[in-house]
Chains A and B, each alone.
Chain A
Amino acid sequence: MRRVVITGLGLVTPVGTGVEYVWKQLLEGKSGIGPVEGFDISDLPSKIAGSPPVGNAAEGGFNADEWMAPKDQRKNDRFIVYGMAAADQAIMDAGWAPQDEDSLERTGVMIGSGIGGLETIYEGALTVKERGPRKLSPFFIPAVLINLVSGQVSIKYGFKGPNHSVVTACSTGAHAIGDAARLIMMDDADVMIAGGAEAAISRIGLAGFCASRALSTGYNDTPNKASRPWDKGRDGFVMGEGSGVLVLEEYEHAKKRGAKIYGEVVGYGLSGDAYHVTAPPEDGNGGYRAMRAALKRAGISAEDIDYINAHGTSTPLGDIIELGAVKQLFGESVNRVKMSSTKSAIGHLLGAAGAVEAIFCILALRDGVVPPTLNLDDPAPEAEGVDLVPHEPKEWKVRYALSNSFGFGGTNASLILSSAS
């Protein structure tokens, strides 16, 4: 089987833009959660979220003009701009800018989103209702379609290989990486640009997740305390937005061109809950089977895993169910694994989460340090016996990292990443 390595990374997150800057913020325990700005929230019970701080990329900020010409921004929802920004970073990091036809045809793109251009759809609906269909932009549809990040990236760089997109709610980013890796393994491509992008922090997005009773509402006055996975005081997730994109590459291809190799995608497992639209089953069986399948694919056992980047969204039910599934799978070796949720710092980036968190796993492998779970002041009793890395990062040699993503609809994905040796 062809091996798949990671040769480029790109990030747009609520703690900043740019991989090294974001990682530094994360290890310093910075939170990217703040009050929602830019639209009316007076009648919404959740008033906080994590948006990428505005500023120039050189200072770790997000400035849309640096990534897309203003005239083109009007033709794309914000999630596409985020995705393009992360893809640009990853492609530059990988140094992969082929000009020959064969290389272009062997490079594909698989960047997904959980919801796509939600805010643009909302505004478009208002336009049609209030001003009539003739006033709707001809770019309305291509501005909102989820696969248009993949489309725009391919058009910008001329990548003519598989052009695909994943839509599996909060598992999107992880599925995109796993599925893109398989396209390389199956020899459909040598290089895949893979990840997720999301921009659902809008009046309708916040209202929707509030309506499904999924969001934190008790920390509106102390936003950076709101995302607190496994803490007794947790009361729902906090919306975040941004993008994570990776360059995946066939191992020999990367070696031949002397590319910097961050790590390898060694395991990928998928499962469905077949249970409920928003809640996981109490026994965590779906998550358990996704992790078990990833271990089997990697040809390793649970005790080989050094770090778990949990789905850990800070919801009362989900956090405990994931813990239970991990305990069941790991048995006694759960005592030595480190498990943290970086959503405590950046919130839940929905369809981008799995890709952003896979990048954090890669950086943990590279630097021998695991990022902390913020706000874990008073752990739930079920956390007994598991090191959830509260408050401070920990130096820890990571040979294999596991990243979990679970989505609405009961869709689960687990990735196992290792240093390529």
Chain B
Amino acid sequence: MSDVAERVKKIVVEHLGVEESKVTEDASFIDDLGADSLDTVELVMAFEEEFGCEIPDDAAEKIVTVKDAINFIQENT
């Protein structure tokens, strides 16, 4: 598992208060991890903070799963 993936999962665990084992790469923030739409906005902000990048709103809308987040960050940092 890449360093980015580990850091993304750690943020998800902290922000959504879910168990680490549930945060698989295919897990959807809303459907599988109990997030609501505001939680996903906060998650994106936390990713920006952690990785020092900017995730525009149209890109953020496409980040639905853990894998989406990892891919976006790997491609844009």
B21 to chain A, nearest CB (A): 17
Q: Is the CB of A71 within 8 A of B38?
A: no
Q: Is the CB of A71 within 8 A of B17?
A: yes
Does B7 sit at the interface, judged by CB under 8 A? no
Roughly how many angstroms separate A71 CA and B16 CA in the complex, as a whole number? 7
Chain A residue numbers with a CB within 8 Å of B17 are: 69-72
Q: Give bound CA distance, A71 to B42, whole Å.
A: 12
Q: How far is the CB of A136 from chain B (nearest CB, A)?
A: 9
Chain A binding surface, main DSSP class: helix
Chain A neighbourhood of B15, CB < 8 A: 71
Please give the number of chain A residues whose Cβ is less than 8 angstroms from any Cβ of chain B in the complex: 10
Report the minimal beta-carbon distance from A75 to chain B, rounded to whole angstroms.
Answer: 8
Residues on A with C-beta less than 8 A from B16 are 71
| Interface residue? A38 (CB, 8 A) | no
B41 contacts partner chain A, Cβ-Cβ < 8 Å? yes
> In the complex the two chains form, is A138's CB within 8 Å of B14's CB?
no
Interface string of A114-144 (1 = CB under 8 A from B): 0000000000000000000011011100100
- A70 CB contacts on chain B under 8 angstroms: 17
Residue interface bits B1-39, CB-to-A below 8 A is 1, else 0 = 000000000000011110000000000000000000010
Which residues on the A side are within 8 Å of B53 (C-beta)? none
CB pair B14–A139 under 8 Å, yes or no, is no
By beta carbon, the residue of chain B nearest A142 is B38
Is the CB–CB distance between B45 and A139 below 8 Å? no
Most buried by B among A70, A72, A134: A134
A139 to B42, CA, bound (A): 8
Closest Cβ neighbor of B44 among chain A residues: A138
Closest to A136 in B: B45
| A71 and B14 contact, CB distance less than 8 A | yes
Closest A residue by C-beta to B49? A135
Residues in chain B near residue A134, CB distance under 8 A? 45
* Chain B CB within 10 A, most for which of A70, A71, A72, A142: A71
With a CB–CB cut-off of 8 A, which chain A residues contact B14? 71
Q: Which residues of A contact B38 (CB under 8 A)?
A: 138-139, 142
Q: Distance in Å from the Cβ of A261 to the closest Cβ of chain B?
A: 39
Task: Give B33-77 as 1s and 0s: 1 = Cβ < 8 Å from A's Cβ atoms.
Answer: 000001001100100000000000000000000000000000000
Give B residues with C-beta under 8 Å from A: 14-17, 38, 41-42, 45
* 7 closest residue pairs by CB, A with B: A71-B17, A138-B41, A138-B38, A138-B42, A69-B17, A139-B38, A137-B42
Q: Which residues of A contact B (CB under 8 A)?
A: 69-72, 134-135, 137-139, 142
Apart from the given pairs A138-B38, A138-B45, 8 other A-B contacts in the complex at a CB distance below 8 Å: A69-B17, A70-B17, A71-B16, A72-B17, A134-B45, A135-B45, A137-B45, A139-B42
